[in-house]
Homo-oligomer: A and B are copies of this chain.
Amino acid sequence: MEHESFTITGYDPERVVQDGNRFLLANGYLGIRGTVEEADRSSLPAVTLAGVYDQYQDRWREPVNAPIGLFAKLILNGKVMGLGNAEAHSHVFSIDYRNAVLTRETDFGPVVFRSERIASLAEPHLLTASLTLSFNTDGEAVLLTGISTDLWDINGPHLFDFHNTTGEILLCESITGEKKIPVAVTQSVSYEHSAEEMFQITGEGVFRRIGFTVKAGEKITFSIFSAVYTGLDVQEPAKQAERLCAISKAAGYSECKRAHITEWENIWKQCRIDLGGNEDAALALMASQFYLNSIAPRHADNLSIPARGLSGQTYKGAVFWDSEIFLLPMFLYTQPQIAASLLRYRIDTLPGARKKAKEYGYRGAFYAWESQEGGTEGCTNFNVVDVFTHRPVRTYFRDKQIHISGDIAYALWEYYRVTGDRLLLEQGGAEVILECARFYLSRASARLDCDAIDYADVIGPDEYHERVRNNAFTNQMVRFCMENALRLKEVFSDKPEQFEALLDRLDYRTDWELLVKALGRIRRPNIRHGVIEQFDGYFDLEDCRLETVRSRLVNPREYWGGDHGVAGTTQIIKQADVIALLALFPENYSDEDVAANWMYYEPRTEHGSSLSACMYALTACRIGREELAWKYFCDTASIDLRGGGKQWAGDIYIGGTHPAANGGAWMIAVLGFAGLSVSNGSIELRPHLPVQIKRLQFPITQGNKHYLITVTHEGWKTEEL
């Protein structure tokens, strides 16, 4: 169908980086950027591995990019038939979202180079491609194909001690610099045409030169199989990579593709939203669901998703609060086992959070703002580079954005609330909530002469205002975390000894008493004419228009936040903050509250983060302003198709796909437009369908049951599947 695939025709070197994101294929284990087979480093090709990090010298830690086993370059009669080398009469990149297949077709004149590529969902260590070369001339051809080690890294290099082996299977072994993790990539090729093979090992990889004679009108097909394993996956990654390469080749490209498509069919059955009435929006939503599903960890049960997915090394490949607040809902309502994986990642990285709390002189669990493996904090003290001095700027995301622990506790509670399943709480989730609450106890500032407890010197979701006091969002997350910590006793009321044993093990008796006392004392936000003050003193800041603030920029790449930024001393905010609070705690606020805050904050929001629009859309639905919600929905759903979003923060590249916006698009469609809510196992719908949508249909999972929900302007129905 038209709105299940996305095609771009023509070649534009300016668009290569953006297209790398748009045509990304991923399977949760790895992501392969959408670059052509013959791409060199300048096109930023990458096979980015999930959960494998490395630090080079004193640079930022980031995910490791593996050698690229799908490299292929055609030389025809001595001339390279590649983009940038030969003139292309036409060039088409097309991604089929339903089947997760990327197709490329370039007409160089003497030859049409067509490829199909998958990152197998059936076998996450496998990349495979099928090349079909249609010749319009006679001649001698060479296909140079193999494993390229000419890798793009933002803060690399990360792989060392390359050891290359040739044969039917090419093998490229290396190890990471910091933790000495072995990385093995294999490649083999099958084809039927008679040819002569030679091998080549250079500084840029290990290759086979397949030489063959062609005639005009001939069409020759090559199937390429490449397997990737690291020492984190298996004991002997090289052996496993060779094995997988061999069996995949034996099975053949078509069989690999069939198994892959079957898996994707299964995913779509679980979560596909069918949006009727607007082709563009339907395509954008499909794309959005595709990008998010493709990076979901399905091969492991305790992995989360980085803020830019598997589209490269942006944001250090780290896991942010995006996972809990923006990605979790879709999985929670459609594929709870993946939601559980995201949360198990947090449970398993509790030691890292404890370590971070201790580092700052606190107790309990202070989760990493940018979490890497084991909960290691990837966020540095300097996250922005000043455009005037080119000096790094001290930012406070790492040390002051304390709502992260509460976000995780919130998500654990959501999992329990929506699925009704206590298992995650039993398997460490309760401990996480208790430890987050303990962190907040120790992070509190109490006054000696009055009752209120402040949370001073924090950063809320709106990062432009650093080091504020009593951010309303943060204080509510703290309160909710503490409430749920205390509520756990009820949750485990059937196993009181077990829960008491947990409290004993955590030496939590005194803290429990402190929690009981502290809870009611946490500062409530100031409210003026129904508008919640984002933090103490926010209303006293300069109240000016977004355009005024923008006009003060001296350099368009300037960072807006902090005391030096144009927004920092005004009421202009980066993203939904109070509005996020309203969206996440809908039952705490009346429709009038939501309306008053929406009207106040919306014109003061720059939407400098892809996390913003979704919260505005959800709350717009709530107050019956579907036309406003629609605009934010379109922004959110189409972000990766458009190639939108900020590309730069100061001097630093921050491009990539936007999983949080992808998750946000699902949230708007299902929780906003359809108005789905689940409480004690019963499903409620309060639709707010924009006029642009005629019909919305989607499956959800509730416990062991699966439902198909249909919403139109006339009404709605829920069918059990």
Chain A contact residues, CB within 8 Å of chain B: 361, 363, 381-382, 386, 388-389, 391, 393-395, 441-442, 444-450, 453-454, 456-457, 467, 510-511, 514, 518, 536, 552, 554, 558, 562-564, 566, 568-569
Candidates B381, B454, B566; contact of A391 at CB < 8 Å: B566
On whether A568 and B394 interact (CB within 8 A), knowing A389-B388, A456-B456, A456-B457, the answer reads yes
22 contacting pairs across A/B (C-beta < 8 A): A361-B536, A381-B569, A382-B569, A386-B564, A388-B388, A388-B389, A389-B558, A391-B552, A394-B563, A394-B568, A441-B448, A442-B448, A442-B450, A444-B447, A445-B445, A445-B446, A446-B446, A446-B447, A449-B511, A456-B456, A467-B467, A562-B563
Cα–Cα, bound, A363→B448 (Å)? 11
Residue of B nearest to A445 (CB): B445
Cα–Cα, bound, A558→B554 (Å)? 17
Q: Which residues of B contact A518 (CB under 8 A)?
A: 448
Candidates B386, B388, B449, B456; contact of A442 at CB < 8 Å: B449
Q: Which residues of B contact A395 (CB under 8 A)?
A: 563
Cα–Cα, bound, A510→B569 (Å)? 38
Cα–Cα, bound, A554→B394 (Å)? 17
Candidates B446, B450, B514, B564; contact of A393 at CB < 8 Å: B564
A447 touches B442 (CB 8 A): yes
Cα–Cα, bound, A582→B361 (Å)? 27
Q: A391-B554, A445-B446, A456-B456 are in contact. List 13 more A-B contacts (CB 8 A).
A: A382-B569, A388-B388, A388-B389, A391-B566, A394-B568, A442-B449, A442-B450, A445-B445, A446-B446, A446-B447, A448-B518, A449-B511, A562-B563
Candidates B361, B381, B536, B564; contact of A564 at CB < 8 Å: B564
> How far, in Å, is A82 (CB) from chain B's closest CB?
43
> How far, in Å, is A7 (CB) from chain B's closest CB?
44
Q: Which residues of B contact A393 (CB under 8 A)?
A: 563-564
Cα–Cα, bound, A444→B454 (Å)? 11
Copies of this protein chain in the complex: 2
A445 touches B456 (CB 8 A): yes
In the complex, the 8 A-B pairs of residues with the closest C-beta atoms, listed nearest first = A445-B445, A388-B388, A394-B563, A446-B446, A389-B554, A564-B564, A444-B448, A394-B569
Cα–Cα, bound, A389→B564 (Å)? 10
Residue of B nearest to A388 (CB): B388
Cα–Cα, bound, A441→B445 (Å)? 13
> How far, in Å, is A533 (CB) from chain B's closest CB?
13
Residue of B nearest to A391 (CB): B552
Cα–Cα, bound, A457→B537 (Å)? 15
Cα–Cα, bound, A391→B386 (Å)? 15
Q: Which residues of B contact A552 (CB under 8 A)?
A: 389, 391
Cα–Cα, bound, A441→B447 (Å)? 8
Cα–Cα, bound, A467→B518 (Å)? 26
Residue of B nearest to A466 (CB): B563
B563 touches A564 (CB 8 A): yes
Residue of B nearest to A364 (CB): B449
Cα–Cα, bound, A719→B363 (Å)? 62
> How far, in Å, is A3 (CB) from chain B's closest CB?
46
Residue of B nearest to A566 (CB): B391
B446 touches A448 (CB 8 A): yes
Cα–Cα, bound, A382→B542 (Å)? 12
B467 touches A457 (CB 8 A): yes
Cα–Cα, bound, A554→B385 (Å)? 14
Q: Which residues of B contact A389 (CB under 8 A)?
A: 388, 552, 554, 558
Q: Which residues of B contact A394 (CB under 8 A)?
A: 563, 568-569
> How far, in Å, is A192 (CB) from chain B's closest CB?
63
Candidates B363, B448, B563, B569; contact of A453 at CB < 8 Å: B448
Residue of B nearest to A360 (CB): B537
Q: Which residues of B contact A446 (CB under 8 A)?
A: 445-448
Residue of B nearest to A438 (CB): B449
Cα–Cα, bound, A563→B566 (Å)? 15
Residue of B nearest to A469 (CB): B457
> How far, in Å, is A217 (CB) from chain B's closest CB?
65
Cα–Cα, bound, A361→B456 (Å)? 13
Central interface residue in A391, A449, A514, A536, by most chain B CB within 10 Å: A449
Cα–Cα, bound, A382→B448 (Å)? 31
Q: Which residues of B contact A569 (CB under 8 A)?
A: 381-382, 394
Residue of B nearest to A511 (CB): B449
Q: Which residues of B contact A564 (CB under 8 A)?
A: 386, 393, 562-564
On whether A449 and B563 interact (CB within 8 A), knowing A388-B389, A568-B394, A569-B394, the answer reads no
Cα–Cα, bound, A381→B563 (Å)? 11
Q: Which residues of B contact A382 (CB under 8 A)?
A: 569
Q: Which residues of B contact A441 (CB under 8 A)?
A: 448-449
Q: Which residues of B contact A454 (CB under 8 A)?
A: 445
Q: Which residues of B contact A568 (CB under 8 A)?
A: 394
> How far, in Å, is A360 (CB) from chain B's closest CB?
9
Q: Which residues of B contact A361 (CB under 8 A)?
A: 536
Residue of B nearest to A454 (CB): B445
Candidates B363, B457, B467; contact of A449 at CB < 8 Å: B363
Cα–Cα, bound, A514→B449 (Å)? 8
> How far, in Å, is A209 (CB) from chain B's closest CB?
51
Residue of B nearest to A558 (CB): B389
Candidates B447, B510, B554; contact of A388 at CB < 8 Å: B554
> How far, in Å, is A171 (CB) from chain B's closest CB?
44
> How far, in Å, is A390 (CB) from chain B's closest CB?
8
> How far, in Å, is A525 (CB) from chain B's closest CB?
14
Residue of B nearest to A387 (CB): B388
Q: Which residues of B contact A566 (CB under 8 A)?
A: 391
> How far, in Å, is A112 (CB) from chain B's closest CB?
53
> How far, in Å, is A567 (CB) from chain B's closest CB?
12
Q: Which residues of B contact A388 (CB under 8 A)?
A: 388-389, 554
Cα–Cα, bound, A368→B210 (Å)? 81
> How far, in Å, is A88 (CB) from chain B's closest CB?
45
Cα–Cα, bound, A389→B445 (Å)? 36
Cα–Cα, bound, A97→B268 (Å)? 92
